Chains A and B, each alone.
Chain A
Amino acid sequence: ETGVTQTPRHLVMGMTNKKSLKCEQHLGHNAMYWYKQSAKKPLELMFVYSLEERVENNSVPSRFSPECPNSSHLFLHLHTLQPEDSALYLCASSAHPVDFNYGYTFGSGTRLTVV
């Protein structure tokens, strides 16, 4: 399998649930990212992992917890979410440093609905 794969594609969870989003890349990249995309808002960068170390955490609430066990895998652990957390969550990967020609490659996203 090639590219960036995200699972699940769709997730409905209650506010008291715990769930995890998974991202896997097969591109040999060594930087990975989580973005949140809400309706009519720009892409919001949540976390950046470069060479498996978290290098950015954009004031994201602690109910979102990232994990990067190796350069090919990235997780986003979710717990006690709020309805306003409903959004499309996108994983992306890139070379480190970012390649001027290729930028980021995005996964297909997880559509999260919090009820």
Chain B
Amino acid sequence: QKEVEQNSGPLSVPEGAIASLNCTYSDRVSQSFFWYRQYSGKSPELIMSIYSNGDKEDGRFTAQLNKASQYVSLLIRDSQPSDSATYLCAVHSSGDKLIFGTGTRLQVFP
């Protein structure tokens, strides 16, 4: 079983719609969770972090965490073509190591 699982996509949404990206993880003691955005050929950049159950909002982005279901998601409201990228879910359990998923490719079409 993979430690962090994401649907590879592509997830295609029209401009202005809500994009919903999902991630599940296997380690129940995981403490904090991160969403990174990676444009093609570029390095990952941090968008959101979350460590408490519930929702955390930052502008057009909302991260949702459900530790009982071992599930974390990222919602992007009013999606723009510039949001088209690969979104990486990362999970921190202990020490300094983050475990990354394979990423979900998002395509926002005009």
A residues adjacent to B (C-beta < 8 A): 31, 33, 40-43, 45, 48, 50, 55-56, 88, 90, 94, 96-98, 100-109, 111
> Are B42 and A102 closer than 8 Å at their CB atoms?
no
Write the chain B residue with the least CB distance to A107: B43
Write the chain B residue with the least CB distance to A30: B96
> Are A55 and B96 closer than 8 Å at their CB atoms?
yes
Instruction: Pick the residue among B45, B46, B49, B88 that contacts A100 (CB under 8 A).
Output: B49
With contacts defined as CB atoms under 8 Å apart, how many contacts are there between chain A and chain B in the complex? 63
Determine the chain A residues whose CB is within 8 A of the CB of B32 once the complex forms. 98, 100, 103
Instruction: Pick the residue among A100, A101, A107 that contacts B31 (CB under 8 A).
Output: A100
When A98-B32, A108-B42, A109-B43 are in contact, do A103 and B92 touch as well, CB less than 8 Å?
A: yes
Determine the chain B residues whose CB is within 8 A of the CB of A111 once the complex forms. 41
> Are A48 and B43 closer than 8 Å at their CB atoms?
no
> Are A106 and B45 closer than 8 Å at their CB atoms?
yes
Instruction: Pick the residue among A41, A97, A98 that contacts B102 (CB under 8 A).
Output: A41
A45 to B41, CA, bound (A): 18
Determine the chain B residues whose CB is within 8 A of the CB of A90 once the complex forms. 43-44
B residues adjacent to A (C-beta < 8 A): 8, 31-32, 34, 36, 41-46, 49, 51, 88, 90, 92, 95-98, 100-103
A109 to B40, CA, bound (A): 12
When A98-B92, A98-B96, A103-B49 are in contact, do A42 and B43 touch as well, CB less than 8 Å?
A: no
Determine the chain B residues whose CB is within 8 A of the CB of A97 once the complex forms. 95-96
Chain A nearest CB from B29 CB (Å) reads 14
Task: Kindly list 9 other residue pairs between chains A and B, CB separation below 8 angstroms, not including A90-B43, A97-B96.
Answer: A55-B95, A98-B32, A102-B49, A103-B34, A105-B46, A106-B36, A107-B43, A108-B42, A111-B41
| Interface core residue of A40, A55, A98 (most chain B CB under 10 Å) | A98
| Interface core residue of A40, A42, A55, A97 (most chain B CB under 10 Å) | A42
| Interface core residue of A41, A56, A90, A100 (most chain B CB under 10 Å) | A100
A101 to B33, CA, bound (A): 9
Can you list 20 A-B pairs, Cβ within 8 angstroms, ordered by A?
Answer: A40-B8, A41-B102, A42-B102, A43-B44, A43-B100, A45-B97, A50-B95, A55-B95, A56-B97, A88-B41, A97-B95, A98-B32, A100-B92, A102-B46, A103-B36, A103-B49, A103-B92, A106-B45, A108-B43, A111-B41
